[in-house]
């Protein structure tokens, strides 16, 4: 069973986001980690490998100056190989173009199953897996909380409004992981140190057949702004009747 796991680096959820003078996110103040949903996808791939045998390859499409620590983390967890697409032309690429580049790489690989996180926590778009499955012309099952894999197909349980749904698909297929699918393992220090010595293969867009440049993005980022600061609460004072009257007056302001 050859399994590919698509990974993305995202800001740590505890990182404070700061905008520079041009309205762009100041990357120098951000700690990047593996996208949490992708961690569940990788964990599931490793469990399938332990059960059925095979190979796990992690794949990522990276910016021009990548931080590959999250790929090293994946290798330390048990992935056999890490491959990255890294090109300056991907600097402002949208999810469609990122998936197009990833699909070009995967078409050169042998795989039975592709696993992704259901979405990235930085943009929450949940577009990449669907685009990738369409580019590869394979079935996809999203938001999966339980996965059973056989030699010729999968049976996946996924969340729907008000319940769950069981879906069967033939291989190759793409599955996106939801929290609850598994508990993510944490590698010991010895495996982390060993993983740092494993070379990460990198490809440019030219290596994947984009001779000139990848087409321009279909979606343009117009601007980024932080949410307004949260207003402090108001403490109501007085006896019960006075507090109720203050509360009602406050509610009327928003009616």
Provide the whole-model pTM.
Answer: 0.85
- Nearest of 45, 16, 22, 28 to residue 117 by alpha carbon: 45
The per-residue pLDDT for range 32-49, each reduced to its tens digit, is 889 999 999 999 999 999
The tokens of 28 are what?
A: 């120098």
CA distance 154 to 135: 20
Domain enclosing residue 218, as ranges: 2-252
Q: How far apart are CA 192 and CA 84, in angstroms?
A: 19
Residue 226: CATH number of its domain: 3.40.50.620
Q: Residue 11: its pLDDT value, please? A: 85
First to last CA, the chain: 60
For residue 70, the SS3 value is helix
Distance CA 102, CA 107 (A): 9
Contact 249, 128 (CB under 8 A): no
Total structural domains within the chain: 1
| Residues of the chain below pLDDT 70 | 23, 26-28, 65-66, 211-213, 255
User: How many of the other CB atoms lie within 10 Å of CB of 241?
Assistant: 8
Are the CB atoms for 135 and 128 separated by under 8 Å? no
């Amino acid at each position: 069973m050859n399994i590919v796991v698509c990974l993305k680096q995202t800001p740590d959820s505890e990182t404070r986001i700061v905008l520079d003078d041009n309205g762009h996110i100041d990357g120098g103040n951000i700690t990047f980690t593996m996208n949490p949903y992708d961690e569940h996808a990788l964990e599931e791939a490793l469990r399938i490998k332990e059960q059925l045998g095979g190979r796990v390859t992690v794949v990522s499409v990276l910016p021009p100056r990548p931080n590959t620590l999250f790929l090293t983390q994946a290798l330390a967890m048990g992935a056999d190989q890490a491959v990255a697409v890294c090109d300056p032309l991907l600097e402002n690429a949208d999810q469609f173009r990122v998936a197009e580049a990833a699909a070009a790489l995967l078409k050169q690989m042998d795989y039975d199953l592709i696993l992704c996180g259901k979405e990235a926590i930085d943009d929450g778009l949940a577009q990449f897996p669907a685009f990738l499955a369409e580019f590869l012309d394979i079935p996809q099952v999203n938001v999966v909380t339980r996965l059973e894999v056989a030699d010729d197909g999968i049976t996946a349980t996924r969340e729907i409004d008000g319940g769950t749904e069981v879906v069967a698909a033939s291989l190759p297929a793409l599955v996106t992981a939801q929290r609850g699918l598994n508990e993510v393992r944490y590698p010991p220090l010895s495996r982390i140190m060993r993983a740092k010595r494993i070379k990460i293969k990198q490809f440019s867009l030219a290596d994947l057949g984009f001779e000139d440049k990848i087409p321009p993005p279909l979606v343009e980022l117009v601007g980024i702004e932080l949410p307004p600061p949260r207003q402090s609460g108001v403490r109501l004072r007085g006896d019960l009747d006075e507090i109720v009257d203050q509360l009602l007056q406050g509610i009327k302001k928003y009616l």
